[in-house]
Chain A
């Protein structure tokens, strides 16, 4: 087996903005975060996944490719404070279809490698039978963290409002092989 659960966080009654996961084991090669989330707020919201130890916007550059059922768009920006590590498709909110959560799979390859800047890649989104219109979408989003330091902690949190009970965040460590197969 190569994919090992490191941490799991489930939002309870009362809601929560998310979690800071620190002291991440350096024993793995890659990290994967799996997110199942919904906002308690009344406006469209986003989840961000970012290294906890660096919240300087100029150390990041992000891009996105997404579709919302009407348009397909792509873009780039140097993130602003508080929006570092955006997952572009957002998450459902209070007036979205009930019992609907967004799903994301976030990969961070070579997170301990001190010869590389870290690229975070996320695929995911949500559909709610057109209740939320173009606020529901699917995306491939990414950013580079321009730091060769190993990632030892991450913040996974909503931006505008707390997330509801039932929201789940899982962090996995993925190992590599000692055999080349060459």
Chain B
């Protein structure tokens, strides 16, 4: 596993981050996200290769810290990653922890994506998710854009893209 790119949000925050020019020399990708929001909204969104069309779908299992987990499926979405940061008004210094796996990102099949994420902020109602997502495109992935859904990412949020090569 090799770190390709890392971005750390500075003072003032940023609306989104982009990993451009992703090399095609690996087999799989992994993204680690530690994020906080500058608003009470927390869900991130991600796009591949700048694709803003309805080419994404997701199946999610989510929990909020109590009760029966929920499962939902969305098709023909315009983004993937419906999760991923801690709210501005949550306990200070808390950040989410999310990992995204994209196997075979340069292959000729549609791109399957697996996401595991938690949002620990010293609250009873803290979200967690296991998500399977699909990008219905056979192109190799060369860029990934991650943004808040209508909010800025807070200082100290970090995003690292890794390439994983098989034997």
Contact = CB atoms under 8 A, between A and B. Distances in A.
B100 interface: no
Contact of A63 (B63, B99, B130): B63
A110 B9 CA distance: 13
A123 B99 CA distance: 11
B20 interface: yes
B3 interface: yes
A21 interface: no
Contacts, number: 146
B20 A74 contact: no
For chain B, the bracket of interface size reads 35 or more
B22 interface: yes
Interface in B60-83: 61-69
A2 B96 CA distance: 22
Most chain A beta carbons < 10 A, residue from B2, B4, B93: B93
A182 interface: yes
A121 B83 CA distance: 15
Contacts of B118: 63, 119, 121, 140, 142
Contact of B91 (A62, A117, A143, A174): A117
A117 B122 CA distance: 10
A181 B18 CA distance: 7
Interface string A86-130: 000000000000000000000101100101110111010000000
Interface residues of A, number: 41
A74 B127 CA distance: 10
A1 B120 CA distance: 29
Contact of A176 (B6, B18, B68, B94): B6
Given A117-B91, A119-B118, A119-B120, A109 B34 contact: yes
Closest 8 CB pairs of A and B: A181-B5, A74-B63, A144-B120, A177-B3, A76-B65, A142-B118, A176-B6, A65-B63
Given A65-B62, A74-B128, 12 more contacts: A61-B120, A115-B93, A116-B156, A117-B91, A140-B116, A142-B128, A143-B120, A146-B91, A177-B3, A178-B6, A180-B5, A181-B18
Interface of B: 1-7, 17-22, 32, 34, 61-69, 91, 93-97, 99, 116-118, 120-126, 128, 130, 156, 158, 160-162
Interface of A: 1-3, 29-30, 61-65, 72-76, 107, 109-110, 113, 115-117, 119-121, 123, 140, 142-144, 146, 148, 174-182
